[in-house]
Amino acid sequence: MLKERKNLRKVIAVAICLAGSVTMFAQETGVVINGVTWATRNVGAPGTFAASPESSGMFYQWNRPTAWATTGNVTGWDSSNPTGTTWETVNDPSPAGWHVPTKTDFDKLLDATKVDYLWTNVNGINGGRFTDKTTGNSIFLPAVGDRGDYYEGSLFGAGVTGYYWSSANIDSNNAYILSFRSDFAIFGAGYKVFGYSIRTVKDGSTGINEVSVDKENATVTGYFDILGRKLTEEPTKGIYIIQYDNGKTKKIMK
C-alpha cells in the first residue's frame, strides 16, 4: 500500500510538471483585431515570446536581432545607427510564423472607428488595451518604456509609456513606432538606435483585398500569394501581391 501511494505521488508530480510545461510553452495562436492577427505577448529572447501578456519581453533596436534587457543596466550597447530601409527577415527576432508589424497593421489597430484604446493595469503592470469593437477581441501591451541611446542605453518611461516597433522606415535615423500612455495612443517616429518593444503579427494575416497599383515613394514590406499567405521572397513566376510600407498593394503576374 505504501509503495502504491509513493508511485501515485510520483505520477501526480510528473503530471503537474507536464501541465506547467504545456502552459509555459503553449503555442501562440494570436487574436484577430480589425482583420489582423496579433500575438498576445511581446517578443522575448530572439525567436520566443514572453511568458505572459503583461511580461515585458525584451528591447530591440530597429532592424537588429540583438535583444536587450528591459530592467537594470546593460553593457555593450550599440550606439551606431541601424542601416536599411526595411526590417530584413534575417534580422527579425519574431518567433517562426510571426513578423514585426507593418505600418498598415498599426493603422488598423489605431482605427478608432473599429478599435477602442484603454489605458489600464493588469496584474500590477500598466499598459494599453486595444479592443475590436465588433468582436470584443483584445490585446494588452505593457508600457515597458525604452532604452535611449543616452548613457549607454539607459532606461526611460517604464510603467508610463509604451513604444513598439513597426518595420516601416521613415529616414536614415527614424522608423515608425506605436507610442501610447494614459491619455493617447498614436503612430509616430522613433529613433532607430533606441531600444523598443516588439508585438508581432501573424504571417499572412494582414488584409490585402484592396489591391492598388499606387506605390509612389514606397518600400516593399512583403510578398503574398493570391490566398493572402506571406511568402519568404519575391516569386520568379506566377500571380502574387506586393505590399508596400504606405499601405498600398500591387498585383503582379509573371
Q: Is residue 148 assigned to a domain?
A: yes
- Distance of alpha carbon 200 from alpha carbon 197, whole angstroms: 10
Say if residue 124 is in the same domain as residue 43: yes
Say if residue 244 is in the same domain as residue 138: no
Domain count, the chain: 2
End-to-end CA separation in angstroms for the chain: 74
Say if residue 118 is in the same domain as residue 151: yes
Domain residue limits at 142: 31-202
Lowest-confidence segment of 33-42, 133-142, 146-155, 219-228 by average pLDDT: 219-228
Say if residue 224 is in the same domain as residue 196: no
Say if residue 127 is in the same domain as residue 230: no
Say if residue 228 is in the same domain as residue 143: no
248 pLDDT band (50/70/90 cuts)?
Answer: low
Say if residue 145 is in the same domain as residue 235: no
Say if residue 153 is in the same domain as residue 234: no
Q: Is residue 25 assigned to a domain?
A: no
Q: Is residue 134 assigned to a domain?
A: yes
- At 92, the amino acid letter reads D
Q: Is residue 191 assigned to a domain?
A: yes
Say if residue 243 is in the same domain as residue 160: no
pLDDT of residue 2: 45
Say if residue 65 is in the same domain as residue 175: yes
176 pLDDT band (50/70/90 cuts)?
Answer: very high
Q: What is the pLDDT averaged over residues 97-124?
A: 97
List, for residues 214-230, the tens digit of each pLDDT value. 445 677 777 776 556 67
Say if residue 229 is in the same domain as residue 175: no
Q: Is residue 5 assigned to a domain?
A: no
